[in-house]
Every structure is written in structure tokens, then in C-alpha cells.
Amino acid sequence: MVYTTKRILLDKRPSGFPAVENFSIDTVTLPQLNEGEILIKIKYLSVDPYMRNRMNKAKSYIEPYETGQPISGDGIAEVLESKNEEYKSGDIISAIVPWQEYAILSGNPYKIPSADNYITEYLGILGLTGLTAYFGLNKIAFPRSGETMVISGAAGAVGMAAGQMAKIYGCRVIGIAGSDEKCAFLKNTLKFDTALNYKTSKNLRKAVKQAAPDGVDIYFDNVGGEISDSIMYLLNDFSRIVLCGQIALYNQNRLSLGPRLNSLLLIHRVKMQGFIVYDYRDEFPAAREQISEWLKNGKLINRETVISGFDQILTAFLNLFQGKNTGKMIVKIA
Amino acid sequence: MVYTTKRILLDKRPSGFPAVENFSIDTVTLPQLNEGEILIKIKYLSVDPYMRNRMNKAKSYIEPYETGQPISGDGIAEVLESKNEEYKSGDIISAIVPWQEYAILSGNPYKIPSADNYITEYLGILGLTGLTAYFGLNKIAFPRSGETMVISGAAGAVGMAAGQMAKIYGCRVIGIAGSDEKCAFLKNTLKFDTALNYKTSKNLRKAVKQAAPDGVDIYFDNVGGEISDSIMYLLNDFSRIVLCGQIALYNQNRLSLGPRLNSLLLIHRVKMQGFIVYDYRDEFPAAREQISEWLKNGKLINRETVISGFDQILTAFLNLFQGKNTGKMIVKIA
């Protein structure tokens, strides 16, 4: 059978905030399958802040997107045709896929067990965002029971997972988010000890200080910029900063300026460390098992913002930078 | 016998750079010795950048100096009278002492073995600055043979020690200092691979890049500020930043601004960590033994800038912030 598919291509690299003008859409016919390949129908796509970095030309920890080529990212798909004996028609897989309706893949994508009740969870809490939270905590923060952790971007996919995991580890958890609705969700549904709306807080540093009477032992940073500055003054001796995301900085054309705070890190013997979830690829299976167990016994709650329709992909992606998602932002394609 | 002594007191806390006006000098008569005390004649005083921080009111990792009280710091002294059976007249000790000619001490200061050829070394390479270099390397940087380390403030007491130790560990060492004379010393006497004068370098980042063709694995930061900024762009994946000093920032009334560079730390999975040498107090004897061995077999060279006279203490201290010392700045009192 012959398949045609729409594709979303990077047309012109964005400078500052990306806009629909940076992308183009075309339609192509897919070639016949070669040996070892599978043809997939894409069901769900993940849109994530890190993708903005890949739209720059500079090489980062991951190759930049090529102009004139499809954007790609995490996705869930159904196998329609297979010339790879590991997969058969009807299998559901999780893989890095192009922003298309149909695609041809080689390699060996992860086959989601059919006994498993989880599907879109593999784009979030059981996927890269859940794993990011898990490894940020277990490889850098080393949370101890009774410690206080502050999370910025707390209602995002990573923040939500990190906060709940820190609760499991016995920490007092303070989340910072951008709306009262998100804060209510963090506090009432996810049982964070405190949730602070940075947009309406007149003095965030003071508010965090009030919520963290014993100071801050861990700062799980998803945003960078001024929100992070306000935490720096509250760090305890031997505290840890997990540099997980810097969404406040991703869309800047030039480096913005901020106060030089390294003296505080020195005096308090703070460790600040960046990490990339892929560095721990070998430990993904064990981590997924743990996360899956927490999900099953109700210790972790998953939350997604799902938008439907291939034509909504760009809107969903751009909305990330407006803070319009609570939890994992997912686009349902088919 | 009755002893009178000059003392240097903190009169008014400095705002910005300290000046002689912030201090006062008086003369007092010392009381009779109580049981357990010793009376000492101070021979050498150490002046160090960290003392500037103690002149602020805010509590740091160490108590602030009190106004109206003597400044204190590392010193070498001779015991004149003793009511402590551990010490006898003529013993040479290393201890935290007030900026005085004579003083009364309790507690149990370190007695320098009389068989030991080292005296002022206990204020530098065998004292807190040498130990600072040692623990910064061994507790945070973890240097591996073949790696490249950049040191700022390289001709200072800590920088000089850290660079030589990194050479012992097999690193390529690039030192940044503030005069051609210092650079010549680093390169010719201490055998650093490269020494760069930041004051005459038109583009420090480019100069370091040229000297570090494989990138920077360790940045041993004694200064902070713009010099440090220029290194951030050259950091390799999994590199380490030892936050050891921030002399560029010590004399600021308000926080200065700098570019927000945490995205670079994230992308390259950099670990930046502050430390204080006192955190490793239990390991001082073992470290001193190692440093002493390196000194004896010529692998480490000690360098001091010695200024003579009690009345020169303030000048020596203030000169630290003008970069006038090469190696450890010491005042010879008697």
C-alpha cells in the first residue's frame, strides 16, 4: 500500500521565540519498505522545551535539527507494516519519530508490552520527563528524608514528577508555578507542601523563605533566570542545585544579565550540576521499573495536557513557552 | 614580666574596598597568664583575601570580625611563657592569632616540629592555602592525567599550589595572572604549560582556547567575574569548576551583573561546587604529609611575598586586592 503523509519541517531557524513562520508543512509519499524497516502510524507526539535548543544551529548535547528536514521527537506509534521480524502489524512502539502522520523507521524502537495499561505515559512519567526527574534526584540531588526541596517549573512534566518523587523520598516540597490553577493542582492533587505562583507573588524570595523555615537543601531548577536568583539566597550549607532546564533562557537572542551569585555558592559549599537524561541510558530499564511501581501503587500521579490534531502540533509546541500546559504536553495525532 | 603590645582593630566595617581608615591601632598591656595559657611573640602573620569577607557584618562560614576587636588570622609565633605543660618557652607554633606583637593563647595550637626546616611554609603551602589547593583538587576536581586545567588568580598562594599539584597529577595547566612578571614566574619556575596575562590579553577567551585545544576539563576559580565568564564557553562535557575564591566580588557593595551562563553548564553537564578548606579539617594531617613530601623531593616550589614590620600589615593586606603579591603574602613581625 502507498502512504502519503504530512510533515512539519524546520524552515528557518528561530531567533528568539519561535513562531509558525519558522516552520513549513508539506506532503510526501513514503517509499516502499526495505528489509529491517517498519512503517508506522503516529498516534501521539511529545512536544518539549528542549526542542527549542535543537532549532539553533549550534551543536549541543544533541544534534541540531536540519533546516528543510522534519522536526522529530518522542512519539507513540502503531506498526502498520513490518519488514523487521521483531515487530508485527498492530504493535505499539515508543520511539524518536518525525513530526509526520506516517513514517518509516529502522533500528529497534521500544515495544510497549501489550499487557501494559500505559500508553501516553511513555511520553511522560515513564518516558524522558519522568526519567529526567528520577535521575536528577538520584544522581545529583541525593534527597534525604526531612530535607527541603524547591522546584521551579513545578507544574511542567519534569517538575511534577520530581516533586512527587521527592515527597516519596521524604522531603518537604515547595513548587513554583505560573498560575493559581497550577498551584492548586500541585497542592491539592500532588500533595506538595507549598505551591507558589511566581506571577502574583510580590516577593518570591520572601515567600519561599516563609515556606522553607529551615532553608533550602535542594533546588531543582527547570527555568533559570530571576526565579532561580530568588532561591540562591536561601540555600543551606552543602545544598545541591540540579540544573535540569533553563526555559527562561532558551528563547534569548543574546545572553541576559543576572546578578553574580557564585560567592553564595562558595560560602555555602553548594554543588550545582547540569545533567542530560541520556547520560544514564543504561539505567533506564531499572528506573522505569521503579517509576512504574510507584504509578501502580498510587504514589505517583500522572497528568497530561493533550491537544488533538496534527495541525495543532505547532500550537502545542509554542504554548510550552507560554506556560499553558499542566504536566506533559502531548499531541494526539490519530 | 609585663608585656605591652600594639593591636590592629577593626574600627568601621568597610563598604567596597577596605582602606586604612577602617582600622585603628592601639597599645595595651597583657594580663598575667592563667592556667593552660601561653604567652607568644608573633613572628609572622598571614594576610589573605578571605579576611575581607569577615569584615562584613553578615555571618558567613566563619564568624565576622567584631568592630573594636583585633583582626585575627593565621600566624607563626614563639612561645615566651607557658602555663600549659604541652608547650615550653622557645617552641614555635602555628595558630590563629590576633594582629598583635604579643598575645595570650589558650587551646592547643600546632607545634612546629623543631626538626622541621619549614616555618613560614606553614602559612602557605603547608598551611591553609596549600591545603585549600589540595582539597579543591582532590574533593571536587578529581584531576585525571591528560586533562586540561585552567586556574585564575594563578600567581596567588592557592593558585600557585593548585597549578603545581595539577601538574603532578598529569594535567596540562593554564594559569591566568595579572602581570607579565607573574606569568614568567608561572611558566619558567613553576613549569605551567601556559600563563596568560589577563590585563594585556585582548581576548582572553580566544587566548585560553588556543592554549587548550582539547577544551577545559577543570576550572579552578579563585577570582570570579569576567575572567571566569571567558572560561565558561570552553568547558568540556563533564568538566568541573572548583569555586575556591571570588576575589573580584569581595569588595562590591552591590552585586554586579554578569551574563547568565547556566545553560552552558547544563548542556555540558558541568559540576560547579564551592568548598571551604575547614570542611576537611580531619584530613589535614594526611594532606600535610603529602604536600611535605612533594616539597622535599622538589615537585612543589613554594613562593612567598614577605613584607617586614608590624606597621606594614595593613599595606600588605590592602595590596592583596591590587594583585601585588606573587605567592603567599606574609608579614614578618619580629
Give the fold, CATH level 3, of A4-124+303-332.
Answer: Quinone Oxidoreductase; Chain A, domain 1 (3.90.180)
pLDDT recorded at residue A20: 94
Give the fold, CATH level 3, of B128-278.
Answer: Rossmann fold (3.40.50)
CB atoms within 10 A of CB A85: 7
CB atoms within 10 A of CB B89: 11
Is A286 near chain B, with CB under 8 Å? no
Q: What are phi and psi of A235, to 5 degrees?
A: -75, 135
Task: Enter the C-alpha cell of residue A244.
Answer: 535540569
Domain with CATH 3.90.180.10 in chain A: 4-124+303-332
Is A62 near chain B, with CB under 8 Å? no
* Contact criterion met (CB < 8 Å) for A274 and B265: yes
Instruction: Write down the ipTM of this complex.
Output: 0.87
User: What would the pLDDT profile of B190-233 be if each residue is shown by its tens digit?
Assistant: 999 999 999 999 999 999 999 999 999 999 999 999 999 999 99
Which chain B residues in 162-221 lie under 8 Å from chain A, judged by CB atoms? 221
Which member of A225, A257, A260 has the closest CB to residue B225? A260
Which member of A246, A255, A279 has the closest CB to residue B269? A279
User: What would the pLDDT profile of B34-65 be if each residue is shown by its tens digit?
Assistant: 999 999 999 999 999 889 989 998 777 778 99
Banded model confidence at residue B147, pLDDT cuts 50, 70, 90? very high
Is B237 near chain A, with CB under 8 Å? yes
pLDDT recorded at residue B325: 86
Residues 6+ apart with CB under 8 A from B69: B9, B10
pLDDT average, residue stretch A174-182: 96
* Contact criterion met (CB < 8 Å) for B244 and A266: yes
User: What would the pLDDT profile of A31-58 be if each residue is shown by its tens digit?
Assistant: 999 999 999 999 999 999 889 989 998 7
Is A268 near chain B, with CB under 8 Å? yes
B234/chain A closest Cα distance in angstroms: 13
Is A275 near chain B, with CB under 8 Å? yes
pLDDT recorded at residue A116: 73
pLDDT recorded at residue A253: 64
pLDDT recorded at residue B253: 64
pLDDT recorded at residue B326: 87
Element (H, E) at B52: helix B50-54
pLDDT recorded at residue A325: 86
Contacts of A275 in chain B (CB under 8 A): 266, 269
Task: Enter the C-alpha cell of residue B308.
Answer: 617586614
Residues in chain B: 334
Choose from A229, A262, A264, A268 for mutation: most chain B CBs within 10 A: A262
Domain with CATH 3.40.50.720 in chain A: 128-278
* Contact criterion met (CB < 8 Å) for A257 and B257: yes
Q: In this prediction, what percent of chain A has a pLDDT beyond 70?
A: 98
Mapping DSSP onto H, E and C, the string for chain B reads CCCEEEEEEECCCCCCCCCHHHEEEEEEECCCCCCCCEEEEEEEEECCCHHHHHCCCCCCCCCCCCCCCECEEEEEEEEEEECCCCCCCCCEEEEEEECECEEEECCCCEECCCCCCCCHHHHCCCCHHHHHHHHHHHHHHCCCCCCEEEEECCCEHHHHHHHHHHHHCCCEEEEEECCHHHHHHHHHHCCCCEEEECCCCCCHHHHHHHHCCCCEEEEEECCCHHHHHHHHCCEEEEEEEEECCCHHHHCCCCCCEEECCHHHHHHCCCEEEECCHHHHHHHHHHHHHHHHHHHHCCCCCCCEEEEECHHHHHHHHHHHHHCCCCEEEEEECC
| pTM for this predicted structure | 0.90
CB B161 within 8 A of CB B129: yes
Q: How many CB pairs under 8 A join A and B?
A: 117
Contacts of A259 in chain B (CB under 8 A): 255-258
Banded model confidence at residue B260, pLDDT cuts 50, 70, 90? very high
**Hunting for cell 551574563 — which residue is that?**
B259
A260/chain B closest Cα distance in angstroms: 6
CB B135 within 8 A of CB B286: no
Which chain B residues in 21-60 lie under 8 Å from chain A, judged by CB atoms? 53, 60
pLDDT recorded at residue B222: 95
* Contact criterion met (CB < 8 Å) for B265 and A255: no
